Structure 1
C-alpha cells in the first residue's frame, strides 16, 4: 500500500523555509517541494544531491573538439590539401593555430546541444508529455510541500503542519 501524502500550501518563501526546518526536526519525510520561482537555500535544506551535468558537459566538449580536429585533419590535410597564403598543409600540428577557432566553436556546439538533450532526457521532458504539476497554483503564487504521513496519524501530522504557517492542507489525490 502506498504511503499517504499531505499537500501543504504556503504563500511566502520565508515561511516555507521555516516550515521545512520544523518538518525535518519532527522527522517527517518531505517528498517534494514545488515553487513558482527558485528559492535560494532550499536545495541545501532538502539535501538535494549535486548534479553531474557539469561532468557530462566537459565530456561532450571533449567529443566536440575530437570531432573538430578529426574533421579538419581529414578535410584540410588528407582529402583536399591546399597551399593557402604560402602555408602548405602537411600536418595538423603545423596548421593548428588556424584550426583553433573552428575547434573552439565545435566544442561549444557539441557541449551545448548535447547538454540540452541530456537535460531533457534526465528530466523526462519528452515532447507532448503531460505536466506533472500537482496544483496549478504552484506556477503562480503558492508554494507546495508534499509531506509523507508514513505510520503517523494523519490528523496529528495535519495539526502540526498547521502550526508551520500553512494556508491550506489536503490529502494528495
Structure 2
C-alpha cells in the first residue's frame, strides 16, 4: 500500500462565502507522485502536470486534483461526500500503484475538442436558440461536454454530421 491515510480540511471558498458548496483539501501522509502517471492511465485524467506532479479529474460534476502530497476537491455538498470521494481516490491510488507493472504510465491529459474546430462548424449567427447568447459561448459548452450538435437548431445537416463525427473522437465525463 502506497497511501496509508490523510488528514482533511473542509471549507467554503473565501472568494464567495455565500456559496453553499464546500471544498476539501486532504493532506496525504505519503508522497504519491510516483503513482500519478499510473493513476492517470487508469482513470483518464483531464490534465496532467509534470512539475510539480499532479493529475486532474472531472468526476460527477467535481474537479479533483491529485498532487504528490494532497488531494483537492471542489463543489461538495457535505463532509460525507468528501469522505466518500477521498476514500475512493485513496483506493484508486493504491490499486494503480499495486497494478503498475501491467499499466503503461500516461504523462498527458485526455484530449479535448478544440473550440475553433467546433465554432467553424456552427452557423455563427448568434441566434440564441440554443440558450446561449453567442455561438462562441455554445462552442465553449461543447468543448466541456455540456452540449452537443443536437442542441443547435440552426446547424445544417452536413455540419451536424461533421460535428458529431468530430466529437465522437473524445471522451466526456
Same-fold status (TM-score > 0.5) = no
| Greater share of residues in helix | 1
Q: TM-score, normalised by structure 1?
A: 0.23
More strand as a share of residues:
2
